[in-house]
Amino acid sequence: MKDTTNYVKNKTNPFIPLNPESKYWLGYIFADGHIIYSKRHYSVSLFSVNQDIMNKFRNFVGNKAHMYIRPTGIIQVCYNSKPTTEWFVNTLGIPVRKALTLNPNIPIDWDILHGYFDGDGSIRADKSKGKYNRYEMKFTTGSEIWKNRIVKFLSDNGIIAHVNTKGNAYDINISGKVQLKYMWENL
């Protein structure tokens, strides 16, 4: 007999209506999420090592979501919901294996980009002669289509990004005080 004590079916979709908070979490899931969509199991999960972020996500999706802490320290919040999972797959067009093919059916905006940055972004500072003299912001993705969409969104907002390819991944780099200040103000 299957143990169902940890499996709760959620019938609501917390991402609807689309608002700044739900779009932020969509962006985060685009970066560090996982979708299971099969005949017997439907779930949307988010992964992070940051307990505070995972608590906020669990609060967002609701207390029926389950939180698991893996031996590696990675935390997973799993939201078991057929309607929500079908919405991700059929409406947003998010494939189960999204890493190399991410191309959601939703326009990028600052809220989605903020969530994506918190999942797959970073800020780096180069230090020479005892002081920081160069800062750089970076987004990483394995999807060429998603990379192109981010670069276009940034360009449409006056941000010049430089892309580096590393194997199957793309780094979208932004530098310069004016551009970084603009990014900081909008993310």
At 4 the pLDDT is: 41
- What burial letters (b/e) apply to 119-156, b meaning 16+ CB within 10 Å? bbbeeeeeeeeeeeeeebbbbbbbbbebbebbbebbee
At 9 the pLDDT is: 61
Give the mean pLDDT per block of 10 residues along the chain (187 residues): 47 90 97 90 93 95 90 94 93 91 96 96 74 81 96 96 94 90 88
At 12 the pLDDT is: 82
At 3 the pLDDT is: 38
At 33 the pLDDT is: 94
CA dihedral (120, 21, 7, 82) positive or negative: negative
Distance separating alpha carbons of residues 105 and 84, to the nearest angstrom:
15
Distance separating alpha carbons of residues 15 and 166, to the nearest angstrom:
33
CA dihedral (48, 49, 53, 58) positive or negative: positive
At 176 the pLDDT is: 87
Distance separating alpha carbons of residues 45 and 29, to the nearest angstrom:
8
